[in-house]
Amino acid sequence: MYLKEFDASVEAVNGNRIVLDQTAFSPRGGGLVSDSGTLAGMIVTEVLREGEEIVHVVKPSMEVRPGALVHGVLDWDRRHKIMRMHTTAHILSAVVNRETGALITGNQISPDKSRVDFNLDNFDKQKIFSYIERVNEVVGKGLEVKTYFMKREEALANTGFVKLANAMPPSVDMLRIVQIGDVDTQADGGVHVKNTIEIGNVIGIGTENKGKNNRRLYFTVE
Ligand SMILES: [Zn+2]
């Protein structure tokens, strides 16, 4: 997750869409926007997962052929912000879950502003800031964020490991687990910081009602 540049060989080219034999670019998915950066001097505007393939959408499309060796460079400032936002979203959902019992029903992680949805009837606006305060306390502890793999059945046997049930297709046999200190352990495929201290300061931006029992909380990091 801390690889900023890499070399790869081109496997397929279709107009402005390039598939490589390996990549450090993280594709759009799981509520996270994709990485951007450059590939052989071309701008990577979007990275998508299509079946087993990771497709790099580039601009302008240049003459690259299958077999060519290319160098990829991530827009690291943007990527690190996404990692900070994503780890924050996990801590926030753990805090809100502990305080209210609510489960996360969706999230959108972007470099500038992110949001998490909870299945709550009531969202006490006064309490929002106390949740953000709790999040900042956790962040300030400098907790290690570990990632490891676990068999699907074993992970599912642990209540709380899979909060976003639809994010885990049954075809996946080994699940990647992300553990933030003793605060949160989740099956998760996205990019995270390796220590919560990298997050910095978390700021609550506001809330929104999205239906009867869906409450949306916006935040950012600085
Ligand atoms: Zn996640």
Pairing mode, if any, of strands 104-108 and 69-74?
unpaired
Q: Residue 198 Cα, ligand 1 centroid: separation in angstroms?
A: 17
**Which contiguous run of DSSP H or E holds residue 80?**
helix 76-100
Q: Residue 83 Cα, ligand 1 centroid: separation in angstroms?
A: 10
Q: Residue 65 Cα, ligand 1 centroid: separation in angstroms?
A: 35
The tally of CA atoms less than 13 A away on the side-chain side of residue 112 is 0
- Report whether 196 contacts 141 (CB < 8 A): yes
Which residue did the predictor score with more confidence, 124 or 209?
209
Q: Residue 59 Cα, ligand 1 centroid: separation in angstroms?
A: 29
Which residue did the predictor score with more confidence, 196 or 215?
196
Q: How far apart are CA 80 and CA 36, in angstroms?
A: 12
- What confidence score (pLDDT) does residue 65 get? 92
Residue 150 phi/psi, 5° resolution? -145, 145
Confidence of residue 197 (pLDDT cuts 50, 70, 90): very high
Q: Residue 136 Cα, ligand 1 centroid: separation in angstroms?
A: 18
Confidence of residue 154 (pLDDT cuts 50, 70, 90): confident
- What confidence score (pLDDT) does residue 163 get? 63
In this structure, what token pair is assigned to residue 77? 């400032």
- What confidence score (pLDDT) does residue 172 get? 75
Quote the mean pLDDT of the chain: 91
Is pLDDT above 70 for 167? Answer: no
- What confidence score (pLDDT) does residue 205 get? 92
The one-letter code for the residue type at 163 is: K
pLDDT 10s digits, 101-143: 888 889 999 999 999 999 888 777 778 889 999 999 999 999 9
Q: Residue 101 Cα, ligand 1 centroid: separation in angstroms?
A: 18
Is pLDDT above 80 for 144? Answer: yes
